[in-house]
Structure 1
Amino acid sequence: MNDEDAPGAEDGGEGFGREAGPRQTRGAGSDLPGILEQFRQTSAWLTSVDKALEPARRHIRMMESARRTVESVMGPGTVYQVALDAQRQYRAVTEPVLALQSSLSDIYDWHSRINDVVRSVSLPRALLERLAATAALFLPANLGGLDTEELRTILEMGGDDGLSLAWAPRTGIVKALLPLGTRQERYALLAERRDDVLDDIDASLRIVTHPELTGMVAILSAATRTARAGFGEGAQALAGNVLESAMSRHGNAWIRRSFPQVAYPSRAGHHGTIGSALDDAEDWGDLTLLQFKHYLVVAGMRNAFGPGATQDTFNRHLGAHQASPDTYRPEFVLPAILLAHALLRALNQDLERPGDDEDNA
C-alpha cells in the first residue's frame, strides 16, 4: 500500500490522529484561569491520544515493513490481497479518529473505543503465512534447510575453490560436498556426479527468461551439452565467455546495487568490484537477509577474475589470454559453468523487465 493510498494521507500523513481536537467550550470572555484550565485539559487530551495511538502506529509500521519484504521477494501481485487486509486494519484505526466529535465530554468514550480498536489490530493471518512461505526465498532453493555452519562452509568453498553453489546442484550433492576436506575431493565428487550437476544446471537455466539474458542462457546451455560430450576445454571456454559477458553488461552494476554501502574504486574492473563487495562485508553475518544470497553468488567469482599468471582454480582471464593445458583443466569445467549459471540466475531476479513500472522494478 503506497503512502498516498493510505486513508487520510492527504490530510497530513502521520498526524492523522491529531486532526480532531477538543472544541473550546468557553467564550472569548472567559477568565484567564479558565483559559489555562482549558489549555491544560487540551494538552492532556493530546497526550492521551498520542499514547493510545502509538501501539496502532507500531502495528502499522510492522505491517508495512512486512509488506515491503514480501513484495521484494515475491512481487506485488502475490501480496495484493494481503495489502487489502492491511488497509482494512489501517482504516479500523483511523476512521474512529477522523469521525470523532471532539467535545471534551466525549473523550473518555472515545478513548475506550480506540483502545478496543488497538487491541484488535494484529498482522493479518494471510500475511504471516506468506512471510513463512517466503523465508526460503532468502536462500536459493537448493540450500534450504542448511544450518549456519553449513552455510559458512559453502561460502568458504566459494572463496577457496571458486564454487558458486546457488540454485545448483541439488541439495543432496551440496550436502555431500560439505564434509570433504580438500578441494581435490570436492572437485572429484562434482566430476563423479557430472551428469546430475549438469541436469540441475539445465533445469535451473529454464527459469532465466529475461530478454537481455536469454542469449547468454543459450550459450551456457551449449556449454553443458559440450561438457556432456566430453569436450571439457570447449565447455570451459563457453562458460568463461558467458561469465565475462554477464559481468560486463550487467554484473558490475548489479553488485553495486546489491551492496550500496561499499566504497568502490572509481575505475574498478570486475576483480576490483567483486573484491570491494566481499572485503567490505568481512563477516557474512553482518549482511541483510536479501544481501546474503547476492554475497553467496559473488563469493565464488573472486578467483575467476583474479590477477596472476597461474591459479589452481578456474580463472576466466587466464583461459582467454593464456590458453594452455594448465589453464584448461578437466576439474575447472563444472566450476566455470556453475559460476556463470549462478550469476545469470541472480541477474534474472534483479533486472527490470520491459513494461514494469517503478513500483514493480
Structure 2
Amino acid sequence: MTDDSRPESSDDRPVQSSDDGPAAHPDRKTPDRAPTVRIDLSHLEPLAEVGRRIGEQLAETIKIGVRARLDRVTASTAGPPPWLVDFQRSLRERMPQTVPIPTPQYDFGPALGRILAESRPHLVKLQRLLEDLKQLIPENLRELRAHDHADIFRISAEDGTSLAWAPRVSIVRELLEADGLEARGTVLVSRAVEIANDVEASLTAVVLPEHQALRALLLEAAAAVRSGLYGPAQAAACNAFDTIVNVRIFEFLAYEGRDSKTRTRKHFRPVDDWGEATFAELELVLVGGGIATAFEWWSRGTGHTSFNRNGSVHHVDDGAYSPAHAIRALLIAQAALRWLDAAVSAAPAAEDAA
C-alpha cells in the first residue's frame, strides 16, 4: 500500500475548529452581535484639560531637576563620570536592537461598562477637582476654553481693563474676535447699554458694608455709560478704581517696603504669559491682569492707548478720555471691587480654619 492509500490515523486527521461557523454545527444558535454604540465623551474634555495642565507642571518640575543635575555633571572639570559614559554606550548599543511590537486591536466596547464602573471613584475625584477649579473662573468666562482665557488675559493686559464677571459671554466672544485695541473699543461702545446692565448685575454680589460707597459710585458710573455720558462715567469709575486698588486692596494685601504699591498692583499679574500661571493664579490674572497696565506712568504728549488711571486723573486734556476707556474703567473697577469683597469676606473663615 502506497503512502497515498494509507488510511488516516486519528493523529493525521485535520482538527476542525469549534469556530467553523453555523454550517459545521447546524443545531447551534448564532449569537447576535452587540450593536455598535457611539458614546459622547465630550463632557470629559475639561478633565483632559486639567490633566494636561497638571502634567505640564509636573513635567516642567521634573525637567528643571534633571537639567540641574546634568548641569552639575557637565560643569565638572574632570568630565562626565564613568557610569554616565557606560550608560550612554549601552544605550547606543541597545537602540538599534529595538523592534516594533504589534499591539492587538481590542474592541473594548463590550467591557466599557465594567471599565467605567471601576474608574468611577477616580472620575468622581477628578470631577470634584474640576468643579473646584471652575470656581476660580469668573462665572461669565466658565464656558470658554483655555485658549480663550489666554486671550482674555492678553486683552486685559493690553487694554488696561478686565472682563471678569462682566460683560456677558456673548460680548466677550466679540472682543475675542476683534482685531486690536481700537476694534475692541468699537465693540465696547456698540454694546455700552448691555455692558452697563451687566456691571449693575455683577455689583449685586458686593455685600460688605464698608464697600457700599464704592459700589454706589460705580452704579452711578454705569448709569452714566447707559446715558452716553462717557466723561463723567470715566471720572467716577477711575476714582473708584484708584481707591479700590491703592487704598482698600493695598491695606488688605499688606505688602511692606518702598515698592509696596507696585507689588500690590502686580499681585494680579504674577506672570507675563498665561501658560506660566498656576491653578492658584488663574483667578488673579483673569480678574486683574490689566491693573498694572492701568497704573503705568503717563508722560504728557506720550500717553498710552490703553485705559490709564494716571492720565485720567492728571492729564484729562491729553487724550486719556474716550467712550471706550470709560467702559474699560468701569469694567476693571467692578472686577477689582468684586474680588476685594469676596476676599475680605473669606478672610475670617480662612483664619478660623488655620
Secondary structure of the residue aligned to 2:178 is coil
Matching residue of 1:313: 306
The residue aligned with 2:198 is 200
State the TM-score, normalized to the length of structure 2: 0.59
CA RMSD of aligned residues (A): 2.9
Indicate how the Cα distance of structure 1 residues 355 and 294 shifts in structure 2: closer, same or farther if over 3 A, else same: closer
Equivalent residue, structure 1, for 2:134: 136
Is contact 1:255–1:277 with CA below 8 Å preserved after alignment? no
Inter-partner Cα distance in structure 1 for 2:222 and 2:316: 20
**Partner Cα separation in structure 1 for residue 275 and residue 352 of structure 2:** 30
What are the within-5 Å matches in structure 2 for residues 238-253 of structure 1? 238-253=236-251
Change beyond 3 A, Cα 1:282–1:321 = closer
Q: Relative to 1, partners in 2 of residues 1:273 and 1:348: Cα closer, same or farther, differing over 3 Å?
A: closer
CA drift of 1:208 comes to: 0.7
Aligned partner letter, 1:303: T
Distance 1:325 1:202 in 2: 30
Q: Which amino acid aligns with 1:300?
A: G
Matches within 5 A, 1:326-337: 326-337=319-330
Equivalence for 2:223 = 225
Q: Which runs of 4+ in 1 moved over 4 A?
A: 122-132, 253-256, 353-357
Aligned pair 1:291/2:284, yes or no? no
Q: Which has the larger radius of gyration?
A: 2
State how far apart, in whole Å, the 2-side matches of 1:297 and 1:173 are: 17
Match runs of 1:150-189 below 5 Å: 150-189=148-187
Contact 1:227/1:333 (<8 A) preserved: yes
Does the CA contact (< 8 Å) of 2:140 and 2:167 recur in 1?
Answer: yes
1:300 aligns with 2:293: no
Structure-to-structure mapping, 1:342-361, within 5 angstroms:
342-352=335-345, 358-359=351-352
Contact kept in structure 1, 2:221 and 2:233, CA below 8 Å: yes
CA deviations over 1:204-235 (Å, ceiling 9, x no partner): 00011122211100110011111222211111
TM-score by length of 1: 0.58
Q: Hey, what's the Cα distance between the residues in 1 that align with 2:309 and 2:123?
A: 49
Aligned partner of 1:267 among 247, 254, 258: 258
Q: 2:72 matched to which residue of 1?
A: none
Match of 1:80 in 2: none
Q: Secondary structure of 1:311's partner?
A: coil
Amino acid at match of 1:327: A
Output the amino acid matched with 1:250: R
Matching residue's letter, 2:274: W
**Distance in structure 2 (CA, Å) of the matches to 1:185 and 1:175:** 13
Residue 297 of structure 1 deviates from its aligned partner by: 2.0
- What CA distance in whole angstroms lies between the structure 1 residues aligned with 2:308 and 2:127? 44
Residues 292-329 of structure 1 show CA distances to partners (whole Å, capped at 9, x for unaligned) of 11122221112211102212121112211222162221
3-state secondary structure, aligned to 2:135: helix
* Pairwise CA distance, 1:334: 0.4
Q: Secondary structure at the match of 1:302?
A: helix
Unaligned runs of 5+ in 2: 1-119
Aligned partners of 1:129, 1:152: CA distance in 2, in Å?
A: 23
CA distance in 2, matches of 1:210, 1:236: 24
Unmatched tracts of structure 1, length 5 or more: 1-121, 257-263
Higher-helix-fraction structure: 1
What's the % identity of the aligned pairs? 30
Residue of structure 2 in register with 1:16 after alignment: none
Deviates more, 1:265-274 or 1:311-320: 265-274
Instruction: Report Cα offsets for 1:57-102 as digits up to 9, x if no partner.
Output: xxxxxxxxxxxxxxxxxxxxxxxxxxxxxxxxxxxxxxxxxxxxxx
Contact 2:268 2:291 in 1 (8 A): no
